[in-house]
Amino acid sequence: FGPEQSYLQCSPISWDAFALEVFGPLLHGGTCVLQPGQHTDPHQIVELVERHRITTLQMSASLFNHMLDEHPAVFDVVREAMTAGEAASPTHTARALADHPHLHLINGYGPAESMGFTTTHPITADTTDATTIPIGSPVTGKNAYVLGPNLELLPPNTPGELYVAGHGLAHGYIGQPALTADRFTANPYGPPG
């Protein structure tokens, strides 16, 4: 984030991505261009990116793929693109970097309960031949653990359950104590609570 960046707010207000698109640039002196209406329209994205010289776009992987397939000129203007919400396409990310080498491309991961990205992975041209795109490492103030059935830390490359912790993580579901007890647990590797 920085004052030279301009973000296009194109996520619905009910999504956690909305907060990153609005507060990220505004809290760092950047520009936030608000998309009119409640629905993401790829043609409108093209028009707003060109008119306002948007530098940063955050999109679901499906929208990123669609924009690259149908409106690739958007990525001539945009300097940074972030994909999230579903698995990033290795084919699309490789093509994006081959056709737009200036593009800084990031794959983000974070459930809504963790308010925005929990982990990020910078995708580079030398890593685009992978069959999957990693979700990356935790961002500052957040943690991600792969744990076994007894909440034990598992060694790298061992299958397990992904647990997230840190700033921005919800304390539970309002008015749903049973669901909270089922989905949230005290962090055995962090401060109490």
DSSP H or E segment with residue 74: helix 74-77
Q: Using an 8 Å Cβ cutoff, are 171 and 179 in contact? A: no
Residues 5-19: tens digit of each pLDDT? 999 998 888 888 888
56-60 sheet: strands from edge to edge: 31-34, 6-9, 56-60, 80-84, 104-109, 119-123, 137-138
pLDDT for the residue 36: 87
Given a cut of 90, whether residue 50 has pLDDT beyond it is yes
DSSP H or E segment with residue 9: strand 6-9
Q: Using an 8 Å Cβ cutoff, are 1 and 31 in contact? A: no
pLDDT for the residue 149: 96
User: Distance between CA 83 and CA 64 in Å, rounded?
Assistant: 7
Given a cut of 90, whether residue 71 has pLDDT beyond it is yes
Domains of the chain: 6-139 (3.40.50.980), 140-193 (2.30.38.10)
Considering only residues 99 and 111, tell me which one the structure prediction assigns the higher pLDDT: 99
Mean residue pLDDT across the chain = 92
pLDDT for the residue 116: 85
Phi and psi, residue 145, nearest 5°: -130, 140
128 — pLDDT class (breaks 50, 70, 90) = low
User: Distance between CA 126 and CA 106 in Å, rounded?
Assistant: 14
User: Distance between CA 150 and CA 144 in Å, rounded?
Assistant: 16
Residues 137-190: tens digit of each pLDDT? 999 999 999 999 999 999 999 999 999 999 988 989 999 999 999 999 999 998
Mean pLDDT of 109-126: 90
